[in-house]
Every structure is written in C-alpha cells, then in structure tokens.
Amino acid sequence: MLKVVVLVSVFFAAVFADDSDNEIDSRSVDLSYLGSAIFGTPKESSGKKVEEWTENSPFNPEELGEYAEGDILFPEQGRNGLVSKATRWKDGVVPYEISPYYSANDKQIIKKAMEIYHKYTCIKFRERKSSDSDYIAIVNGNTGCWSSVGKVKGRQEVNLQSPYCTTKVGTPMHELMHALGFVHEQNRWERDDFVSIAWQNIKRGHEGNFKKAEKGSTDGYGVKYDYRSVMHYSPTAFTVNGQATIIPKDSSKNLKMGQRDGFSRGDIIKINTMYGCPNKPPGDDPDAIAGAGPGGNGSGGGGLLSFLFQIVN
C-alpha cells in the first residue's frame, strides 16, 4: 500500500514539474524591472480614488490605483519569493469565476470583453470547473481596478470595482490582458523614441509608474510601439496639474493614447503571437479598434469598421 502511495506521489510530482517547465519559456515577460512593488494588499483608499472617476475624466479608472504602475498587484498573502516572470495559461484557456455582487450591466460588460477576446484571438475564457485549480476570480472589491500579470498558481483575483471599472469594455479587456501576461505599452524599453515623459507634471511619489522595462525583458512580438494599444496609459495619467504626463513625439497620435474601446490591431497580433493562435487580425487598417461598437468612439477606416460591426454585433 505504501509503495502505491509513493509511486502515485512521484507520478504527480513529475506531472507538475513538467507542467511548470512548459509554462515558463524564453518568450515569457520579465517582471523584474517592477521589483517588489508588485506585491501588496488591495487598498480601500484606491477604491476611494476610483470613485472620483467619471466617463468624462481625461484618464482611465485603472490609472487611479496606488499599485505598481497603477493597477498591477500580486496580493501578498500566501506568497514567498519574487515573481520575476509572467507565465502563460496552457493552450490559452483561462477558467474564471465572476462574483455574484455585480449588476446585470456589469456582467454584460465583462462578458462582452471576453467575447471580444473570443472573436479576435484563440484565448478561451470559460467558467471554472471544480477540477480547475488555477483560475481567475473576477471580484467587485472596493479597491479599484487591478490584476496580477500572467498566471499565478491557484486562485488569482482580477478586481473590477463597479461601476467605475465596468463602464468601458476596454477596462476589463485591459485587466484581462494583464492576467494573460502583458504589461503597459508606454513602459516599453524603447518608449523614449515615441513619447516624452513630462516628469514635472507627475504627482509626487508616482514617478515609479513610468519606469521603463529593461531592454530585452519584454517582447513587442514584432509590433512597433502602439499608441492605440488598450494597454497604453492616457496622456494625463498620474498628472498633478492636469497637464500631460505622456507627450507623443508625433502630435497626431495624441488623441489616440489611452483608448478603452477595444483592441488595437497591434494588441490582437501580440496576444495571438504570445499564445500561438492561428488567427490573423481582421483587415489591414492599423487605426481600427476591434470591439468598438457603433456607440464607441473608436474611429478607423469605414470599410473595416463596417466589417467589425458585422462580426461584433
């Protein structure tokens, strides 16, 4: 009997060892540039700040948090050691649970965000089965909008405080993209070639939110710096005086930063490349936003937008 138990234990240990080896590979995202700032506890004070947000605010609710870069958080409890690499979800399958403490509207926005992933990528969000040990729990805590980056073992929370983080479909899309393993666009190592950071306009103590990744630590998957990414901050993120904190070197890009209407073409390419999806991004208009419905303000080529409306609606 003892022999059987030992054999079974060895078998499971081997399976788990293989599993984790496969999850970390050379294309993982290196989070070491964020250091220990990614660890912390969810804060109600961040929830209060998010309550200042309205649809007309010149920034996004996820830019109001007191976590690393505003919305990156690995809750401390139960962890030991530093997470330096983001890991991927096996085969792009992400089991999830949604808190019952959401309105029908909130749930609709969250589901819509997932549907947009399903339309343009091979990522599969599906309800958690009892056999799924690793999963995301989408919760409505009064601690703002935040997520950890990549897959964490066990239950990991994606906090979407209603109604602030569930107003624009791009906010759940943004947090889910963190959970898949992506970081913020404006902190790419080569960002200084594309934007200037106006340090004098940043709220004191928030300068660390604009720290660049180390060269070679993150992968743009062949997509050049993308002002329209759903992972890009707003021009006035963390401003102390209402003036811009991120200034594009090409002024025509100014209005495009910080959109939360859907995926940019670059976002789709990056997700599909990281996860080895066979999908190709729709159309060839680099300015189109995939997921922006007729009510959204994503603008792009008429032909492609009509195509998107047909398949989104």
| Active site positions, annotated | 175
What is the x/- site pattern for Zn ion, positions 20-59, by CB under 5 A?
----------------------------------------
β-strand pairing of 135-139 with 155-160:
parallel
**Is residue 66 close enough to count as binding Zn ion by CB under 5 A?**
no
Cβ atoms of 40 and 67 within 8 Å: the answer is: yes
Task: Name which of 228 and 300 has its Cβ closer to Zn ion.
Answer: 228
Q: Residues touching Zn ion: how many (CB under 5 A)?
A: 1
CB nearer Zn ion, residue 38 or residue 292? 38
Indicate whether 226 belongs to the interface with Zn ion (CB under 5 A). no
Shortest separation between residue 62's beta carbon and Zn ion, angstroms: 5
Question: 105-113: which pairs have CB atoms within 8 A and are 24 or more residues apart?
Answer: 105/163, 105/166, 106/140, 106/160, 106/162, 106/163, 106/166, 109/166, 109/167, 109/168, 109/169, 109/172, 110/138, 110/160, 110/166, 110/172, 112/169, 113/169, 113/170, 113/172, 113/173, 113/176
Going by the annotation, the residues of the binding site for Zn(2+) are 174, 178, 184
Q: Looking at the DSSP assignment, which residues form a beta bridge with residue 126?
A: 95
Nearer to Zn ion, 232 or 305 (CB): 232
**Shortest distance, position 183 Cβ to Zn ion, whole Å:** 8
Q: Which of 66, 71, 157, 267 is close enough to bind Zn ion by CB under 5 A? A: 71
Chain position whose Cβ is nearest to Zn ion: 71
Question: Per-residue string for binding with Zn ion, 73-112, x by CB under 5 A?
Answer: ----------------------------------------
Cβ–Cβ < 8 Å for 151, 24: no
Feature table: binding site: 174, 178, 184
Residue ranges binding Zn ion (CB under 5 A) = 71
